[in-house]
């Protein structure tokens, strides 16, 4: 129970009664009082010094938001929720405006430049289907930029890659659907492991493709024999 000081109506400070129920106080004048203090726990927020907030949570924080917060932290929390709601509303408004413009034919997209076309061709040329181990499962996916994709997934091991795009990826998913755990994750059983060994024998170590840059010396065109990827 929190530390409580109780003053009697006669002006003297009351003391607790050891043999009485918890929260029972008495005064030298003979008066008695039973005090009940509601334990509200601790605020879930952090103080500026990085330590746990020491202020008591307000009742409406748990009632309305399901989290214990003091008055100041509750105001900040509500501010964040308001900002998120405003952002979502703004995004929805922009999306609707774009749909209207496209439906009425007022939105015109510029034609891709020669450099844009060449960059897209280079990305497509380095597209791979990858096999990576994440924990106890193997993920089969596809990407045009292995460096960027692996930095997102942070796999335990990059097992193999084979040239291909989404069509080949879908074919591999169907091929090993009997091993599917969920989504693009599969159990590492013999037939899948044997397939990965075959890819390594045929294509060698995994290709770690990356960002592409259109060469300027060739007028924005990539020589036919130039390698792609990194």
Most confident among 60-69, 97-106, 165-174 (mean pLDDT): 165-174
Q: Are 161 and 128 in contact (CB under 8 A)?
A: yes
Separation CA 182–CA 165 (nearest Å): 21
How confident is the model at residue 120, as a pLDDT?
81
Q: How much is the pLDDT for 220?
A: 43
The reported pTM is: 0.47
Q: What is the pLDDT of residue 230?
A: 37
């Amino acid at each position: 129970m929190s530390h409580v000081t109780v003053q009697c109506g006669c002006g003297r400070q009351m003391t607790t009664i050891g043999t009485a129920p918890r929260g029972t106080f008495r005064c030298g004048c003979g008066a008695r009082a039973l005090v009940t203090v509601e334990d509200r726990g601790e605020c879930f927020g952090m103080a500026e010094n990085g330590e746990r907030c020491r202020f008591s949570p307000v009742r409406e924080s748990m009632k309305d938001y399901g989290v214990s917060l003091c008055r100041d932290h509750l105001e900040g929390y509500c501010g964040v929720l308001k900002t998120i709601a405003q952002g979502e509303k703004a995004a929805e408004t922009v999306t609707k405006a774009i749909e209207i413009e496209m439906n009425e034919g007022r939105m015109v997209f510029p034609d891709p430049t020669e450099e844009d076309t060449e960059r897209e061709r280079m990305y497509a040329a380095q597209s791979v289907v990858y096999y990576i181990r994440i924990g106890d499962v193997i993920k089969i996916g596809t990407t045009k930029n292995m460096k960027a994709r692996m930095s997102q997934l942070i796999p335990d091991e990059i097992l193999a890659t084979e040239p291909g795009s989404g069509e080949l990826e879908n074919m591999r998913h169907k091929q090993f659907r009997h091993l599917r755990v969920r989504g693009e994750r599969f159990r590492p059983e013999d037939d899948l492991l044997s397939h990965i060994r075959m890819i390594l024998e045929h294509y060698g170590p995994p290709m770690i493709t990356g960002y592409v840059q259109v060469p300027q010396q060739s007028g924005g065109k990539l020589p036919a024999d130039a390698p792609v990827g990194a």
